[in-house]
Chain A
Amino acid sequence: MSPFLVRRLVRLVVVVLGVSLVTFAILHASGDPVSLMMPEAPEADRAVLRQALGLHDPLPVQFARFVGNTVTGNFGKSFFHHGQSASALVLERMPTTLLLTVLSMTLALMVALPVGIYSAVRRGRTVDQLATGTVFLGQSMPVFWTGIMLILLFGVQWRVLPVSGWDSWAAVLLPTATLSTFTAPLLLRIVRSSMLEVIGLDYVRTARAKGVSESLVIWRHALKNAALPLVTVTGLQFGLLLGGAVITETVFAIPGVGRLIVGAIRQLDFPVVQAGVFMLAMIVVSVNVMVDVLYLYLNPQIRIR
């Protein structure tokens, strides 16, 4: 393994450990799950339950145990979902959330790339102005609002798509569109501006002078250099999309991880929150490592230290 990858993997472990520590600290500061579970029980009964759940130990002991268990992939059992393991609850819902996120990212790129390039090439024309306007609009709409508007239009007014759920491909369309509206504008802006930057450079002019066809100039020569900022932002956006999925999952009644975690926070279901946040953090960090690797491929001149 190259030293670069080793360093990245070490950093991954540090980040994930940090995320776990923060989650752990916030959760334990936010209250006592036992008093939430048995609000009207006498203190003695609560103490018994606290003991059983291991919540009576000092916090450092609990954290050490949590880290130890995490290494072996054991996050403990959910307080709320009787006797079910926290990681199973999260893993059961993970494919849904990942599918939603990946589909949304794909859709966003499918829109952002051609439109961004086109408006860079036709800078100042109608298409460009239209695209820039849409960017403003798209970025200023909160996800839950977009979601409900799309439901009202496609589900209630025109009745072409199901309002909510996750049991048919038709049901997947609206949430995916909702989440893309959140990401596509930013990506579009990045594509447009980095294309603009590159398009005026000497090597592009040289390529044109050599008689290379215009589409080859744009797609091969210009885009590869313009892609660096896009790749960075896509990587960062992935994390934001996972966050946006929480809201989208609620609006569209989708059985995903985000909804599970939000519910678990309300119920102070420590193991489920920890397992969920840990796994999401792993995904985000892994995506960022992938972005770094992609950098090396895109521009061999870059030496990441």
Chain B
Amino acid sequence: MKRWCALALGVLALAGAASPAAAQAKDALVVALVSHAPTLDPHMHFERVGILVNINMFDSLLHKNRKLEYEPSLATSWKTLNDTTWEFKLRKGVKFHNGDLMTAEDVKFSFDRVLEPGKEKKKSPQYGNIRAIKEVRIVDADTIHLVTDKPFPLLLERLVFFPIVPKKHIEKVGDEAFGTTATVGTGPWKFVEWKRDQHIRLEAFDGHWRGKPAFKNLIIRNIPEVATQIAEIKTGGVDLIRNVSADLVPELKSHAQTYVSSAPILRVHYVELDMREAPFDKKAVRQAANYAVDKQAIIQKLMGGLGQQVATVVQPPTFGFEPEVKPFPYDPKKARELLAQAGYPNGVDITLHSAFVEFRPIFEAITQMLTEVGIRVNARMWDPGPAWNKFLQAEGKATNGYYGSWGNYSVFDADAVLHPLYHTEPGGWIGKWYTRVEGLDKLIDEGRSTLNQAQRKRTYSQIQKLIREETPGIFLFTQYDTLAISKRVDYAARGDEWLWLFDAKPKR
């Protein structure tokens, strides 16, 4: 028995010596993500986890600072020449990681690679983002014109994540190698290695035009399990984790090794109501549902205060937000009255669906509050996945409504939430199934068809007043992005959920 104990102790001691947690290098910044995108090629995927890696290796024409204002990046200035032509001046002397100079040719190549003019089937999943661009014209060595097919007010938003890639290099190594082993950009860190399902290792690029980032090595680990991420950050195995849920915030806030940083983001929660069928075909019932839900209580009790109540679905930081439109107050008495007026004095039975599993308690609270005023809810929670997508998105069968969220694909413009949620055009997202508000389609179309920002603002103000009145959904709140960060690193969460790690500094 003694021999066994000695052996076990020996093994433990050996293991302790080899522990990477103990050997964490000072000049390395380690970030945990729940997964990696299938490729490092910034144009060939559409995944948040991929974008978060790409932005640290590539630059786009524009950048957004911490306050989410546009900043020059590979373009030093820009202006519109007419309703459909935009001019960009390119930064001079920008180097790719392989030493080549970035040229107007590279910029045109980057766009054409996604647009694939003349091709029927586009291979980039980001094509939809920039499909409005009809032509990319090189005017001279450092001037580019982007020509859109019609006025496209979202262009600048789309260019904040549109990485410029090296033409010559890609033509030499091919698309596949570019996305896996030979990734080259102009960003603060350059590619070193990618161990599948383990980590992506990057190294500071000496020739980066902004200067050198504070951390020499950037390691992006793939850790799917949240509990494991938490254990890693507590022991120094990683320096930053994302999406910390409200129940974990107090623990990580008070921990000796970590602090918590959060910022309000675009992701807005709502219950989309099915206006095609009773009882939500009646405005009074929809309004009753809005009065019935105590949003402040949900924010305080279930989200640890990390939420911001909204009057509609348009998020406060977006262009077009109308502060004059006020949220529905919590008023269960008024809700009962409205319900009775609508012809349901004894209440009504409905079904609500959701596949938003991480927010199950909120779904349950909403259904409970609705039931209390007489809108008796049969709540159905789905496993997010193919069956749910088919049921909801492909066939629109989720009557009488569903609880979900929308993140605008990080586009800070009212159009990016109004069109998918409420426009009824056949190719549209979810509005085509649920929303039946007279005149709303026309207003949304109006908002996206001019570059006159003052006029657009008026249109969106009008839309928000209209939907506050017609209530095609139960309007809830926007969420916060919450990071847990090691105390040896100085960084803060951003409203666009980016991990722009050039801003990360060692704490002394």
Contacts and interface: CB of A to CB of B under 8 A. Distances in A.
B38 A163 contact: no
A266 B12 CA distance: 38
Interface string A249-264: 0111111100110010
Nearest to B222: A253
Interface residues of A, number: 54
Given A39-B393, A164-B223, A251-B227, A259 B387 contact: no
A161 interface: yes
| Centre residue among A35, A165, A167, A250 by max chain B CB count within 10 A | A165
Contacts of A42: 427
| Centre residue among B176, B385, B387 by max chain A CB count within 10 A | B385
Contacts of B19: 159-162, 168, 170
Given A36-B389, A168-B20, A82 B198 contact: no
A38 B127 CA distance: 11
Given A40-B128, A82-B39, A35 B390 contact: yes
A39 B20 contact: no
A122 interface: no
B487 to A, nearest CB: 16
B376 interface: no
A31 B389 contact: yes
Given A160-B15, A259-B197, A152 B223 contact: no
A251 B237 contact: no
Contact of A168 (B18, B39, B228, B234): B18
Contacts of A32: 386, 390, 394
Contacts of B196: 92-93, 255
A263 B121 CA distance: 26
Nearest to A169: B18
Contacts, number: 135
Contacts of A160: 12, 15-16, 19
Contact of A255 (B12, B195, B429): B195
Nearest to B196: A255
Contacts of B120: 48
Contact of B38 (A31, A33, A80, A167): A80
A163 B237 contact: yes
A170 B38 contact: no
A156 B227 CA distance: 12
Contacts of A37: 125
Nearest to A45: B121
Contacts of B16: 159-161, 170
Interface string B117-153: 0001100010010000000000000000000000000
Interface string B31-61: 0000100110100100000000000000000
Interface string B1-25: 0000000000110111011111000
Contacts of B195: 255
Interface string A27-66: 0001111011111111001001100100000000000000
B48 to A, nearest CB: 15
B224 A259 contact: yes
19 contacts: A33-B386, A35-B389, A35-B393, A37-B125, A40-B427, A80-B38, A81-B39, A151-B228, A156-B231, A159-B235, A160-B19, A161-B12, A161-B15, A161-B19, A163-B231, A165-B198, A167-B198, A168-B20, A268-B386
Q: Shortest 8 CB-CB distances between A and B: which pairs?
A: A31-B386, A255-B197, A170-B15, A253-B223, A170-B18, A160-B16, A81-B38, A163-B231
Interface of A: 30-33, 35-42, 45, 48-49, 52, 78, 80-83, 92-93, 148, 151-152, 155-156, 159-171, 173, 250-256, 259-260, 263, 266, 268
Interface of B: 11-12, 14-16, 18-22, 35, 38-39, 41, 44, 120-121, 125, 128, 176, 179, 195-198, 221-225, 227-228, 231-232, 234-235, 237, 385-387, 389-390, 393-394, 427, 429
